[in-house]
Amino acid sequence: MAKTQEAWSSRLGVILAVAGSAVGLGNFLRFPGLAAQYGGGAFMIAYFISLLLIGIPICWVEWALGRHGGSAGYHSTPGIFNYLIKHPWAKYLGVIGFVAPVCIYMYYVYIEAWCLGYALNAMTGRLSVEGMDYGAFFGRFTGASSDGVAIHFGLGDVGLFVLIVYALNFYFIYRGISKGIEFVCKWGMPLLIFIALIVLVRVLTLGTPDPTKPDQNVLAGLGYLWNPGDIATGLRNPQLWLAAAGQIFFSLSVGFGVIITYASYLRRKDDVVLSSLTASAANEFCEVGLGGLITVPAAFVFLGAAGIVGQGTFGLGFNVLPQVFAHMPGGQIFATIFFLLLFLAAITSSLSMLQPGIAFLEEGLRINRKQSVALLGLVTAIGTLFIWYFSKDLKALDTIDFWVGTVTLFIQATILVIIFGWGLGIEKGWAIAHEGAEMRIPGAYKFIIKFVTPSYLLTIFALFLLQNVFGWNYSFSDPQFNPTGYVRDLLGGSDQPPSYVARLSVGWILVMAIFTSILVHIAGKNWTRHNPNKDPS
């Protein structure tokens, strides 16, 4: 194995890097979109329960397992699983830890390019170049209006920005853990929070901008998102629980193989318990405290509830907000810095999606950093090109986001807690987590990690299958195959033919999974042949 000497240069550095991975588009776009869609109060209850029962415990598990594997020289999920569990199949359980971040990168970086492009176009006043129709700009810029239209390279097109963000990501990832990732996060994170605070103050001081519409004021905007509404009915909706749990995963970057890789560059006696909690707390501050107070209230104040409903995550950020900024004094500046904020949040996250892949290629295939960066660059570029071309209704992006960004995470997260609580054994896991720890995990979490977290994950996953595969009205007495949503896209429904873009997207994910399994197989052979590491425990 190509033994790396890479390490974080400081404790603050690693916390900022994990927080950088966590704080992203999920905080400023996905979270407010979901909270508004499901009616603030009920959603937040499910959200905080998921944070306590799956988010925080799985973060501890990933930090602990990552540091443990790292001290034996392994930095990727397949490598760490292979080391922890002495069974030939264990390494294959780590395949998702490569495929998920790499596939997510392919579309995330595309949205990152929108953010940079929007920042520049907002600055030069070009967002309204097509009259006041921001929707038309969005459709052409992102390609949502039809396949292939986004593949252009002028200043008002996304192409140039895709190239810039690719170059930046691969430049920094090539520079490595402390000179690349840590460097970007150390500067990017404080700057991001600073900008978010400026935008927040602007939004909270908007008052009642249109005196003829006294109902559209800041307080009512906050209330629109945060008033509890009908909690009891909300909580009875299983879709809400799925969305809340999915958001916790996505937002904390947990279950992807990212935190486990980042933690593997810690030293053996470095604290993980408090550091993990600090990074999660930073994410929650940015999500609930900043993300939750900016987008939706700003949109409400100018456009009222009608302007928000049904916009979806991207519509809110890239279609509604530019209109909102146009109404605001100093709007051009605020629009520019807002999209810059999104770009900063995105790049610290996209870097974290590349590192697990790089680590695996280096240690599994015994190739050097330059070669790993080149190989990963090629594979991800093919994927991004696919998503960029098949952009109508953002179908490819949305399909990959759903199957990888939501579904596989439940599987990977379940594998992680089961390995920690049962494979290693909770007592051994506990001892590993507490080496060098600066605080103790409350004892109740032994029970939670062993029993509650896996049952909670499995229940939510079962609900999901019931809803998406069998159709929500599945009746045991009269079972009918009635797929809905994303499954219907693949198989076709009674009223709709299958979508070939959705099929191609899932095909691409499968190709990635098979390709990775072959690489893991080769890596396994390398690890058996050159087993350079002694068991540190």
Site string for ligand PFF, 17-56 (x = CB under 6 A): ----xx-xxxx-----------------------------
Q: Which is nearer to ligand PFF, 74 or 107 (CB)?
A: 107
CB 23, min distance to ligand PFF, A? 6
Residue 103 in the binding site for ligand PFF (CB under 6 A): no
Q: Which three-class secondary structure state does DSSP give residue 496?
A: strand
| Residue pair 127/335 in contact by the 8 Å Cβ criterion | yes
DSSP 8-state secondary structure symbol assigned to residue 392 = G
Q: Which is nearer to ligand PFF, 18 or 149 (CB)?
A: 18
Separation between Cα atoms, residue 433 and residue 61, nearest integer Å:
8
Residue 251 in the binding site for ligand PFF (CB under 6 A): yes
| Residue pair 228/40 in contact by the 8 Å Cβ criterion | yes
> Where are the alpha helices (H) located in 51-133, listed in sequence order?
56-70, 77-84, 96-123
Residue 258 in the binding site for ligand PFF (CB under 6 A): yes
CB 531, min distance to ligand PFF, A? 29
CB 115, min distance to ligand PFF, A? 11
- Residue 263 sits at the vertex; the CA angle it makes with 261 and 268, to the nearest 5 degrees, is 130
When binding is defined by CB under 6 A, the residue of 78, 101, 143, 176 that contacts ligand PFF is 101
Residue 250 in the binding site for ligand PFF (CB under 6 A): yes
CB 16, min distance to ligand PFF, A? 14
Helix and strand tally (H, E) in the chain? Answer: 27, 0
Find the binding residues for ligand PFF in span 342-371 (CB under 6 A). 349, 352-353
List C-alpha distances in Å: 78 to 66, 81, 137, 529. 11, 5, 43, 16
Selected range binding ligand PFF among 33-41, 251-259, 491-499, 516-524, rule: CB under 6 A: 251-259
Q: Which is nearer to ligand PFF, 250 or 430 (CB)?
A: 250
Half-sphere exposure of 177 (CA within 13 A, CB side): 22
CB 251, min distance to ligand PFF, A? 4
Half-sphere exposure of 522 (CA within 13 A, CB side): 13
Residue 372 in the binding site for ligand PFF (CB under 6 A): no
When binding is defined by CB under 6 A, the residue of 256, 265, 300, 508 that contacts ligand PFF is 256
When binding is defined by CB under 6 A, the residue of 253, 275, 295, 412 that contacts ligand PFF is 253
Q: Which is nearer to ligand PFF, 218 or 263 (CB)?
A: 263
Q: Which is nearer to ligand PFF, 109 or 199 (CB)?
A: 109
Separation between Cα atoms, residue 324 and residue 231, nearest integer Å:
30
Residue 380 in the binding site for ligand PFF (CB under 6 A): no
Which of 323, 247, 222, 203 lies closest to 49, judged by CA? Answer: 247
Burial of 383 (0-12, 13-18, 19+ CB in 10 A): buried
Selected range binding ligand PFF among 37-45, 249-257, 328-336, 479-487, rule: CB under 6 A: 249-257
DSSP 8-state secondary structure symbol assigned to residue 493 = B
| Residue pair 301/468 in contact by the 8 Å Cβ criterion | no
Q: Which is nearer to ligand PFF, 43 or 430 (CB)?
A: 43
Q: List, as one string, the DSSP characters of 202-229.
A: HHHT---S-TT-TT-SHHHHHHHHHS--
Q: Which is nearer to ligand PFF, 284 or 435 (CB)?
A: 284
Residue 412 in the binding site for ligand PFF (CB under 6 A): no
- Sequence-ordered list of residues with C-beta below 8 angstroms from that of 271, at least 6 positions apart, any chain: 11, 436, 437, 438
Separation between Cα atoms, residue 212 and residue 485, nearest integer Å:
41
Q: Which is nearer to ligand PFF, 150 or 282 (CB)?
A: 282
CB 22, min distance to ligand PFF, A? 5
- Scanning the structure block, which residue is given the tokens 């390398």? 526
| Residue pair 421/454 in contact by the 8 Å Cβ criterion | yes
> Does residue 2 come out as left (phi exceeding 0), alpha (psi in the -120 to 50 range) or beta?
beta
Selected range binding ligand PFF among 125-133, 168-176, 253-261, 497-505, rule: CB under 6 A: 253-261
CB 26, min distance to ligand PFF, A? 2
Site string for ligand PFF, 425-444 (x = CB under 6 A): --------------------
| Residue pair 471/484 in contact by the 8 Å Cβ criterion | yes
CB 108, min distance to ligand PFF, A? 7
Q: Which residues of this protein are in contact with ligand PFF, per CB under 6 A?
A: 21-22, 24-27, 101, 104, 250-251, 253, 256, 258, 349, 352-353
